[in-house]
Amino acid sequence: MRDRTFAPSRMLIYLVVLLVAVAYLVPLIVVVLNSLRSNEEIAQTSMIGWPLRWAFGNYLTAWSDFCVAQTCAGIRPYMLNSALVTIPATIFSTLLGAVAGYAVSLWRFRGDQWIYGIVTLGIFLPQQMRLLPWTIVLRDMGLMNTLTGLVMIHTIQGLSFTVLFCRNYYVSVPQELIRAARIDGAGFFRIFWRIILPLSPPILVVTVIWQFTHIWNEFLYGVTFTTGQQQPVTAALIALSAAVADIPQNGVQSAAVMIAALPTLLIYLIGGKYFVRGLTAGAVK
């Protein structure tokens, strides 16, 4: 027979979780519905409502037809900019973080904990504090207003998280594996390539999802260090809001927001369960 002793408390927990979920989902639902309503319908009724006539053309307009920052090509080129920044920065920061995490966890050397502490200190520094140093670096390297500059920023700053994730995962790898490989004559990179990397998919999935979503959604550096056609999609959406301030296009703007959010939504839908598994892998150690 079922134990119903805690049924009321469970119902209360479920109710609270449901209310929190609704509170988080309401803005998304409003944006989704408005992306399928015409600008005229929204202007004549309200920002909240069910579409009377489905305006799927908003997505086509948002993708390729309206003007942003004097470029009448929709958000398509800015989506490409975000991809050109996010994909290489995610790959570089993940690989470098895996190597560094492996070094400070399994190859102990003098000062390794100090290095680990300094690298992970970047997690706690606010982004605004880093703007001036990055401005000087990008200016001196001639990378202002370039996608390459953004790739460098996100690669270096992402190391704080990727090193943290990988180091905490690799400490659960038995030291006997490393000793046996050393006895067989394997060096640093051969051990990493042949032993550590095949054991790493759970934590690499975590770092890839974390970095991809963080970099894609990042706004401050994109709007500070790039202008015009070099901007990522998050900064371009703000330019779109300013461009249509006199003639509101809420339907098209909502469609543009949904298109911009689609890559990160797909990443979480596809890899969300692997993200949780990767975070808990090695937690017992």
Q: What is the pLDDT of residues 104-154, one digit of tens each?
A: 888 877 877 888 888 888 888 888 889 999 999 999 999 999 999 999 999
Looking at the chain, the domain(s) classified CATH 1.10.3720.10 span 76-280
pLDDT (average), residues 23-50: 85
Confidence at 86, pLDDT banded by 50, 70, 90: very high
pLDDT at 1 over 50: no
- Closest by Cα among 229, 267, 263, 244 to 62: 244
Q: b/e string for 34-47 if b means 16 or more Cβ within 10 A?
A: bbbbbbebbeeeee
CA dihedral 272, 28, 62, 42 (to 10 degrees): 170
Confidence at 72, pLDDT banded by 50, 70, 90: low
Per-residue pLDDT reduced to its tens digit, 184-238: 888 888 989 988 999 888 899 999 999 999 999 999 999 999 988 899 999 888 8
pTM of the model: 0.85
Query: Could you tell me how many residues make up the chain?
Result: 285
Q: Are the C-beta atoms of residues 181 and 119 closer than 8 Å to each other?
A: no
> Residue 126: what are its φ and ψ, rounded to 5°?
-65, 150
CA dist 239 and 254 (Å) reads 14
pLDDT (average), residues 74-91: 93
Per the CATH hierarchy, to which homologous superfamily does domain 76-280 belong? MetI-like (1.10.3720.10)
CA dihedral 83, 234, 133, 230 (to 10 degrees): 60
